[in-house]
Amino acid sequence: MTRFNISGPKFDGAFCTVDTFRHLLTDEEAISHLRNISCHLKKNSIYVLGLHLLPWQGIKQKVHRWQGSRGKLTVLSSIIVLDVNRRRREETLNYTLRAGKQKYQSVYKLRTYTLSQFQALLDKAGCFGIKSVYNLDYDLNQPVQLNEDSEEAVYLLGNK
């Protein structure tokens, strides 16, 4: 996510909406990613970036579950927040996925960002400005105003 090169013309847009950005565990990695994405986009194009933010008061919902079915297959997903370390800015998650009779489990770390920390990161990267912000409903008719208690955001970023 930090170093890639795509030959050919630049793109009108890019997206990363499923919190994958937080797998970049340092500011250096995150800035490298943002700048690399920017280099592959046309001027004034957009980057849609979705991520969970760390509210000032702490995470309210520590367990996230969803279920989906198609035909005879049912998939159950469970994400449990095991630890949040504000000083090191990392969150440890336990992710379990059950698909039919198979079970997959993984424990991993993600980078945490408060609203002001993410804004500072964008400023430091210097390549994107915020055009608007939405929640995870992705309703373009319903932009949201973030505050220090916001937990989720889908940023519509404009390439400078």
DSSP alpha helix (H) spans, 65-152: 115-125
Task: Assign a CATH topology to domain 11-55+112-159.
Answer: Rossmann fold (3.40.50)
Q: Where are the domains of the chain?
A: 11-55+112-159, 63-111
- Using alpha carbons only, what angle is made at residue 127 by residues 108 and 23, rounded to the nearest 5 degrees? 5
For residues 127 and 104, the answer to whether their CB atoms sit within 8 Å is no
pLDDT in tens, the chain (160 residues): 999 899 999 999 999 998 899 999 999 999 999 999 999 999 999 999 999 999 988 777 788 898 999 998 888 899 999 988 888 889 999 999 888 888 999 999 999 999 999 999 999 999 999 999 999 888 999 999 999 999 999 999 999 9
> Which amino acid makes up residue 120?
A
Rounded to 10 degrees, the C-alpha dihedral 117/23/13/123 comes to: 20
Give, to the nearest 10 degrees, the angle between helix 115-125 and helix 27-39. 50
